Amino acid sequence: MKINIGSKNKVKIEAVSELLKDYPDFKDAEFFGKEVDSEVSHQPKTLDETIEGAMNRAKNCFDNCEYSFGLESGLMAVPKTKTGHMDITVCAVYDGKVFCLGISSAFEYPIKVTEYIFESGDNISNAFNKLGLTESNNLGSEQGAIGILTKGKYDRKRYTQESIRAAMVHLENKELY
């Protein structure tokens, strides 16, 4: 079975390939990362935009495969939070006809980071770097913001896998959907 992943980001590729080994139908699958356009901003700022980005990634990498996976992280408005927004990751699994969606848990960025993102239009990785929270220039391909904020107790790969596992509910229970 061939699985395409709409990114060359090693964290996203490993998140999919490692998690799917837990599923008997996918244990012998081959995984291929493909650089595709999400067709949304580099830093999605709404739930709709984040879902659209994940779906576009899955659709745009569906080529000569059984399934394609699109993963997109972004912000969504959340009332009563300190910044008004929280980070989520969306997984879209596509079989050429139907999408299955899953969403991770959510967490809030520091106030200065969220303000910077909305004022500058820059992405999370650059915001954390410019505000002195990391020296990394490519946080999204490493531990992620969640890794920094949890002081290494949780990383981007495991966080991303939450959204993949949630999307897999549909594939494991096709008769219900």
Cα-based distances in Å from 71 to 8, 43, 61, 110 = 11, 13, 11, 23
Q: What is the DSSP letter of 46?
A: S
**Residue 140: what pLDDT?**
79
CATH class of the 2-106+160-176 domain in this structure: alpha beta
| Cβ contact 62:94 at 8 Å | yes
**Residue 138: what pLDDT?**
82
**Residue 137: what pLDDT?**
81
Domain locations along the chain? 2-106+160-176
- The predicted-structure confidence for 42-92, as pLDDT tens digits, reads as follows 999 999 999 999 999 999 999 999 999 999 999 999 999 999 999 999 999
Alpha helices in 21-95 (DSSP H): 47-60
Distance CA 133, CA 149 (A): 9
- The predicted-structure confidence for 105-150, as pLDDT tens digits, reads as follows 999 999 999 999 999 999 999 999 999 999 888 887 889 999 999 9
pTM of structure = 0.95
**Residue 34: what pLDDT?**
98
Report the SS3 class of residue 62: coil
